Chains A and B, each alone.
Chain A
Amino acid sequence: MGLRVEGLVKRFGDLTAVDSLDLAVPEGSFFGLLGPNGAGKTTLIRSVVGLCEPDEGHIEVLGVPAWGRRGAEARRLIGYAPQEVALDRFVPVREALELHGRYFGMSRRDAVARAREMLATFELEDKATSYANLLSGGMRRRLLLARALVHRPRLVILDEPTAGVDIELRHDLWAHISRLHADGTTILLTTHYLEEAEALCERVAFMRDGQIVTEGAPAELRGRFGAGRLEDVYLRVVGR
């Protein structure tokens, strides 16, 4: 299994952000996590990547427990592009990619070569010596995705990677993500664009109030709910 979550609970004071959540993402699959703001998607993701400590439950990344003694081993397998554009403004783009690779255990030589490859793949070569805070919004999104992939993770988690980008760039990012999936990488994607989920994901899960409400392949869900579009399914299962 690419990702297994069992009985996950995360509370912030009186608010239960994730409530006894179970999720299984098959290895090599492209999985979408959908739901309104505040459904608990980001909390779930941050629990997987080691940035939000669960109160209860168990998380496994490719068979390795994400918390506890083997947490470091699990974190090495994950590439994460957060929803917020959080980039180091004190180092140039090329160096940001190299540093990320080295944070995740690559040798300097490998990190340099891989950063060069990522700059070319994401058409950031011209900006290699620029600082992240001087890049356009679209370039920052590309850099976030490139950074998540530098260390060749086996599970890539993308939290709204196309939020606020123009249509052309969105299609570019889709192409990059699809190629990644074709190479066998397990992908977990959250998005508010249901056409994006429909176009990319093999399976999707709908979240509301910290729980998975329903899950399945997009076509299967459309059939189950007698809906023409995934958006109609969304409105039925998580709409208020």
Chain B
Amino acid sequence: MSAEASARDLRRAQWRGVGAVAEREILRVLRLWKQTLVPQVLVAVLFIVVFGLALGGRLDGIGGVPYEQFIVPGLVLMGVGTAAFANNGTSIYQARGDGFIEDPVSSPMTASQLLLGYLSGGIVRAAIIGVGIVAAARAFVVFPLVNAGLVVATLLLSGIAFAALGTVVGLYARGWEHQNFVGNLVIQPLVFLGGVFYAVDDLPEPWATISRFDPIFYMVEATREGMLGAAEVPLGLSLGVTAGLAALMVLWAYTLFRRGVGLRT
């Protein structure tokens, strides 16, 4: 076989590997659907019912948007983000803990290909949950979908950012407590302070300013702009921060894969 044919054959082999890792990750999501899909959709529905329908009638709308509509974009983003993060954090940590991650790591795949395969699971889980929450929300609340393309782009970028962050935590974690720490004490507060349930501009200082340093605020804003056509910050800024964060997280995860952190000794 010539050097060129041999290189082509290796590339094909590597991409088959990526397909296999992605398939394994996606099948894991589907097989464990009671743990990976149902809870996030259920939590979002409960928020809509309790905050949107039960309490929303007692609240004025925000920026001219009825409250039960206002919270939907943030809840979709929250479901997508937490699912993508939890998926990759858990899957990679389990694979490391049990040692079977060494099977794909010792294969011919490159660091970027392995990362792509692993990100697929988180992104697919996030996509299913995003669609699930939108569909479930529609059963309770009538809301417009002003720019579906923007919503898809924002949720995709957010899913990538959170899946990559989950990958980083999964690679560094030395116990479940590390996963829980980042999930409960970092992501959850940032989500709640990111304007899911209120307009950040309505907060007193210094909280309004502090909230503008929360990257999740911009993800929520871009999603809200796409769904409702209403936002507190320009679209370019919110989409730019979302894309920038996704790029940064992917680069971080890639660097760890390349250096073999948590994978090689």
Contact = CB atoms under 8 A, between A and B. Distances in A.
Interface of A: 12, 43, 46, 49-53, 72-73, 75-76, 78, 80, 82, 84, 86-91, 99-100, 102-108, 147
B6, B31, B109 pick with most chain A CB within 10 angstroms: B109
Interface of B: 6, 10, 12-14, 16-17, 19-21, 23-24, 27-28, 31-32, 94-95, 98-100, 102-110, 260, 263-265
A107 B105 CA distance: 19
Given A53-B260, A86-B102, 10 more contacts: A12-B265, A50-B105, A78-B106, A84-B99, A89-B100, A90-B31, A90-B32, A103-B21, A105-B16, A105-B107
Contacts, number: 92
Contacts of A78: 106
Contacts of B95: 88
A50, A89, A107 pick with most chain B CB within 10 angstroms: A50
A86 B104 CA distance: 12
A158 to B, nearest CB: 14
Given A102-B20, A103-B20, A82 B102 contact: yes
Nearest first, the 4 closest Cβ-Cβ pairs linking A and B are A105-B13, A86-B99, A102-B20, A72-B108
Contacts of B13: 76, 104-106
A186 B213 CA distance: 58
Given A12-B265, A72-B10, A72-B14, A103 B103 contact: yes
B99 A50 contact: no
Contact of A86 (B98, B260, B264): B98
B103 A100 contact: yes
A232 B70 CA distance: 80
A75 B106 contact: yes
A75 B114 CA distance: 14
A46, A84, A102 pick with most chain B CB within 10 angstroms: A102
A87 B19 CA distance: 19
B6 to A, nearest CB: 8
A51 B98 contact: no
